[in-house]
Amino acid sequence: TEKRLVTYNPKLASKKKYEIAKQIEKARNLCYSQAKRSEYGDLGKYVNFIDEDGEKAKASINESMIEKELKFAGYNMLVTSEKDMDDIDIYNTYHNLWRIEESFRIMKSDLDARPVFLQKENSIKGHFLICYLAVLLERILQFKVLNNQYSTHQIMKFIRSFKVVKGESKYINVTASSEFIKEFEKITNLPLTNYYLTERQIRQIFNYKI
């Protein structure tokens, strides 16, 4: 009824072993200070408690549990009902789930989707539809144009900060220079770093198509 896929990540193993070492050190210090059992919390799994009834716990480090934790550090099991799905597809699908969560964070933080100061149902639906479309366009720009080389925060900062002021005959670009803008200009071939912009160049920027 299910398929199980076990993976191993060396970087995750190194990180996990470091965390285990810190927890063991805390557990040892609690043992030396004869701390109460309630003070151990999650660290209790690394300790053998001899006296369970007393206020003070007579404790010793559980070496077998530490050995087991270190042995399996870096391993992860994925369980799915997709029995016919290729292993690599299962792995990639699982590790792309965070992008869905990130998209919701973008709407909540960068796009200020909430709170919603609307009452009519159609207005509320319209509000979130615009937010979803904005996230979609931002994601297309991020992955298809910029090859995922820049974060959402950098892209949104550019969108909010890019400003021009209309002068007597030309537009003046008052946007602060950044590495992102310079790279974006190379990719799109748009005059984003020009100090003076003509009417034609402004139209070129607005009419740019991916």
- pLDDT tens per residue across span 86-112: 999 988 888 888 777 777 777 777 766
Residue 181, CA distances (Å) to 24, 131, 141 in order: 48, 24, 14
pTM: 0.51
Stretch among 40-49, 87-96, 122-131, 179-188 having the lowest mean pLDDT: 40-49
Structural domain includes residue 89: no
Amino acid at 52: E
Same domain? 111 vs 141: yes
Q: Is the pLDDT of residue 54 over 60?
A: no
- Average pLDDT on 129-141 reads 86
> How many domains in the chain?
3
Looking at the domain assignment, is residue 85 inside a domain?
no
Q: Is residue 190 in a domain?
A: yes
The model's pLDDT over 151-177, given as tens digits with 9 standing for 90+, comes to: 888 888 888 889 999 988 899 999 988
Asked if 161 and 155 count as a contact pair (C-beta separation under 8 A), the reply is no
- pLDDT at residue 130 is higher than 60: yes
Asked, for residue 87, whether it belongs to a domain, the answer is no
pLDDT range class, residue 57, cuts 50, 70, 90: low
Torsion of CA 53, 59, 61, 65, to 10 degrees: 0
Q: Domain span at residue 200?
A: 162-206
> Residues 6 or more apart from 72 whose CB is under 8 A from it?
none
pLDDT at 56: 56
